[in-house]
Chain A
Amino acid sequence: MEETTKRELVLSINGERRAVVARQAETLLFVLRDGLGLTGAKPGCLNGDCGACTVLVNGTPIKSCMMLAIETVGKEITTIEGLDDAPIQHAFVRHFAFQCGYCTPGFIMNAHALIERHPDADETTIQEWLEANICRCTSYQEIETAVKEALAAKKVETKF
């Protein structure tokens, strides 16, 4: 039987294979930040409430403070560092959808997944997805505007 020790994990992150030695009990958030230097996902509440640590696992938003890194072996992880000029990033800048910026990576990852999965999202779906993230600066109105703009752009792109 295996002993409780550190283990080398090979993770697929932002299209690259990355090897990291981590405790089996370590969360994905901690391994991303302290093991791999990917500090875009932010530690907020560490309790699954605030959404600042949101990353995508196989395209699904996940709060990385509540998932073990070892669970993600064999899956595709996308962090904010892996988004390259995604429309939602530009929409956030255009609408100044942040103040301090701490919650922004989490909001963007969640919104990006929403746009990819549900380009036809209605008000209810947008609210249901985005209420998983908290912005202490209360930039909600600007965030909503940015998400709706990116959704509209995606809809046009999907139609053609």
Chain B
Amino acid sequence: MVPFDFAYYRPQSIAEATALFAALERDGKRPLYYGGGTEIITLSRLNLVRTAAVIDMKAIPECRVLDASADPLVFGAALSLTELEEANPFPLLTKAAREVADRTARNQITLGGNICGQIFYRETALPLFVAEADVIVAGPYGVRQCRFNDLFHQQLQLGRGEFIVQFKVDRATATLPHFHRKRRKQGEVGYPLVTIAALKKDGAIRVAFSGVCPFPFRSAEVEAHLNDRSRPAAERIQAAVAAFPRPILHDIEGSADYRLFVAAKLLEDALRELGEEETM
């Protein structure tokens, strides 16, 4: 139950959505774009989110596109995670999506919502980092396309009134050898101790993490250490982990030391599965 009132809007186009946002903002309604709504509703109940208006993105056709035959592949931000899983155009994204929350919740959780939400794990961002996806953003100044990695620093750097319309992923990249693993404190559902997504392109490993820091990340320095084949794998991993950004999460799910230990083990698994045995 949401302990305050808000108005619900369901625009049918990008232009209608941005115009609504601007009008509601002018009226002091502090509007929120609304995807699956799971986070807005659950955090509202706890008074951690407050708004006088939500703008549902699910009737905007561009936000609902799933084009698996195009190159690049196109994923609308308002697709549910289970819709993406069932279509499976990008297997690494499917694996990341499948580990978020539980299946019933994923019938509602959208790709855009998972990436833009307040809950900082944002695990579906990891495949988009390593695939070097593009992102289509709409806002008061029109529609723009940019590199996902350029726009994401700890979280997506969207301007007021902007929202994600789509993600685009190079078709060939989407089928490259990859690795995904999520380790939790316990059970099969829940937040990660460490989640890792990796992909090998042109002989180089790209890797992104969630659950290690209070934000998901991909780091050039970490990857430089991992791909330094002049050194044995154990040293590469040690140097990579030492180069992680800070702070390392230290909470009830796991201590900072334990998370780094788990991350190093997962990197070992990733290198092995991506064919780096000869250096191990």
Residues of A within 8 A of B (CB): 1-4, 23-27, 30, 46-48, 51, 54, 60-63, 65-68, 70-71, 110, 127-129, 131-133
Contacts and interface: CB of A to CB of B under 8 A. Distances in A.
Interface of B: 1-2, 4-9, 23-24, 27, 36-38, 41-42, 44-45, 52-53, 56, 58, 98, 101-105, 107-108, 188-189
Given A2-B7, A68-B8, A70-B8, A129 B103 contact: yes
Contacts of B4: 25
A48 B101 contact: yes
Given A2-B7, A24-B6, A66 B108 contact: yes
B45 to A, nearest CB: 6
Given A48-B42, A131-B188, A25 B5 contact: yes
B36 to A, nearest CB: 8
30 contacts: A2-B7, A4-B5, A4-B6, A4-B7, A4-B52, A4-B53, A24-B7, A25-B4, A25-B8, A25-B44, A46-B42, A47-B45, A48-B42, A48-B105, A60-B107, A61-B103, A61-B104, A61-B107, A62-B107, A63-B108, A65-B41, A67-B41, A68-B41, A127-B188, A128-B103, A129-B103, A129-B104, A131-B103, A131-B188, A132-B104
Nearest to B29: A4
A131 B6 contact: no
A66 B52 contact: no
Contacts of A1: 23-24, 27
A160 to B, nearest CB: 27
A132 B37 contact: no
Given A27-B1, A66-B105, A131-B189, 6 more contacts: A4-B5, A25-B4, A63-B105, A65-B41, A68-B37, A110-B104
A41 to B, nearest CB: 13
Nearest to A129: B103
Contacts of B23: 1
Contacts of A133: 104
Contacts, number: 87
Contacts of A47: 42, 45
B8 A27 contact: no
Contacts of B5: 4, 23-25
Nearest to B188: A131
Nearest to B2: A25
B8 A67 contact: no
Contacts of A131: 102-103, 188-189
B32 to A, nearest CB: 12
Contacts of B44: 25
B37 A67 contact: yes
Contacts of B9: 2
Contacts of A60: 107
Contacts of B102: 51, 131-132
B8 A48 contact: no
A88 B44 CA distance: 35
Contact of B2 (A26, A51, A129): A26
A53 B36 CA distance: 17
Contacts of A127: 188
Contacts of A128: 98, 103
Closest 4 CB pairs of A and B: A132-B104, A132-B102, A25-B2, A24-B8
A128 B45 CA distance: 27
B110 to A, nearest CB: 13
Contacts of B105: 48, 63, 66, 132
B1 A46 contact: yes
A133 B104 CA distance: 9
Most chain A CB inside 10 Å of its own CB: which residue of B42, B56, B103, B104: B104
A47 B2 CA distance: 11
Contacts of B53: 4
A45 to B, nearest CB: 9
A110 B104 CA distance: 8
A71 B1 contact: no
Contacts of A23: 2, 5
